[in-house]
Amino acid sequence: MVLAHKLVKGGERTLLRHHPEETDFGVQLAGKHPEVMAEAAVIGVESGAAFIDLNFGCPIDLVVRKGMGAALLRRPTKLVEVVAAVREAVDVPLSVKIRLGYSQKELNCVQVALRVEEAGADAIGIHGRTRNQRYRMSADWALIDEVARAVSLPVLGNGDLLTCWDLERRRRETCVESFLVARGALVKPWVFAELHEGRPLDPQPVERWSMMRRYLDLAREHFGDDEQGMTRVRRFFLWHLGFWNRYYPWQEEDFLRTAPESLLQARNPHPPDDPQWQLLASAEEADHERIWERLLAGEHPVV
Ligand SMILES: Cc1cc2nc3c(=O)[nH]c(=O)nc-3n(C[C@H](O)[C@H](O)[C@H](O)COP(=O)(O)O)c2cc1C
């Protein structure tokens, strides 16, 4: 997410940097002024964005208090003006991300989606929660389905897709055909392969260390090997470890038992009695530091 008003003033440029192999690279913009958003979209396209996405779902106080992100769900006319202005400014595919509404009492996603379609967007991503829910409760897929039935645009359903069973269920129970996955990819970077194959994958520790090492190599390439770059690499790496350690080999029974609640809050109560699995499942900061130092030193498997 790039703040449009900062981008047009020359800021946020590092967020536009991407790997040459990232041909599907897109830029997501947040802002409330149609002309500023349009100018930012042009900068995004000039910087190589293959598509533009507009963020009307961000629930963060700092963003909402300034009238951006999900705040615009309360001002649908302004929201639509932004969509129309960006549509006018760029030719690349334009998607719009919304939530169900601002609060349970303001569930206006169907009306907003219809107006967004009229304003010329090419797709609508919808996170099945309200702004006030943020990440609490389960995503409401019945309402996402209502949006998908109301508009002719592709709707990208979003919320709590963590396993192949979640995807199978949403495909079966709704008419949504496209999906967005966020936290599942933070916990299991291989989730997309799972969803494609329709079965859980269970990478063993040696593969998981290699994935971490690969992340580290790419992050170093991206941020740079100097002190400033490495400070950022370390910060991001430790942040990711906070998600990676939550993985355990979810089975269909886990899915059935916890559904419709998210498995994200669940932790493996009994990781295998093996030092590598124990370390990979550890939420302790000291263990995360240890993993960072060992991987950085080229020592992996870590245990
Ligand atoms: C750490 C984090 C950062 C996020 N950043 C963005 C963002 O920049 N733009 C956006 O549209 N959504 C963002 N989201 C929300 C996700 O795209 C998604 O809508 C939400 O997490 C629900 O999907 P999930 O259940 O698959 O996680 C973020 C979520 C998380 C957890």
Q: What are the sequence ranges of the domains in the chain?
A: 2-159, 205-296
Q: Is 181 near ligand 1, meaning CB less than 6 Å away?
A: yes
Whether 125 lines ligand 1, by a CB cut-off of 6 Å, is no
* pLDDT class of 65 with cuts at 50, 70, 90: very high
Q: How much is the pLDDT for 263? A: 72
Strand partners of residue 94: 52
Instruction: Tell which atom from ligand 1 comes closest to the C-alpha of 97.
Output: 11
- Among the four given CATH numbers 3.20.20.150, 3.20.20.70, 3.40.50.12170, 3.40.630.180, the one describing domain 2-159: 3.20.20.70
Range 275-292 average pLDDT: 94
pLDDT confidence of residue 259: 63
Residue whose CA lies nearest to ligand 1 atom number 18:
182
Q: Are strands 26-30 and 2-3 parallel, antiparallel or unpaired?
A: parallel
Centre of ligand 1 to C-alpha 183, Å, is 7
Q: Kind of pairing, strands 94-99 and 2-3?
A: unpaired
Instruction: For ligand 1, atom 19, name the residue with the nearest CA.
Output: 127
pLDDT band at 137 (very low <50, low <70, confident <90, very high): confident
Q: Is the CB of 263 under 6 A from ligand 1?
A: no
pLDDT reported for residue 260: 58
Q: Is 164 a catalytic residue?
A: no
Tell me the C-alpha distance between 191 and 201, whole Å. Answer: 8
Helix, strand, coil percent content, the chain, rounded in steps of 5: 50, 10, 40
**What tens digit of pLDDT does each residue of 181-215 get?**
999 999 999 999 999 999 999 999 999 999 999 99
Distance, in Å, from the CA atom of 44 to the CA atom of 4, rounded to the nearest integer, reads: 10
Percent pLDDT > 90 in the chain is 85
Catalytic residue among 58, 109, 164, 175: 58
pLDDT digits (tens, 9 = 90+) for 25-36: 999 999 999 999
Phi, psi of 182 (to 5 degrees): -120, -80
* Model pTM score: 0.94
Lowest mean pLDDT among 6-15, 67-76, 223-232, 258-267: 258-267
- For a mutational test of ligand 1's pocket, the pick from 144, 158, 194, i.e. the residue with the most ligand atoms closer than 8 A to its C-beta, is 158
Check whether 249 has a pLDDT greater than 90.
Answer: no
- Rounded CA gap, 45 and 43, in Å? 5
pLDDT tier, 272 (very low <50, low <70, confident <90, very high otherwise): confident
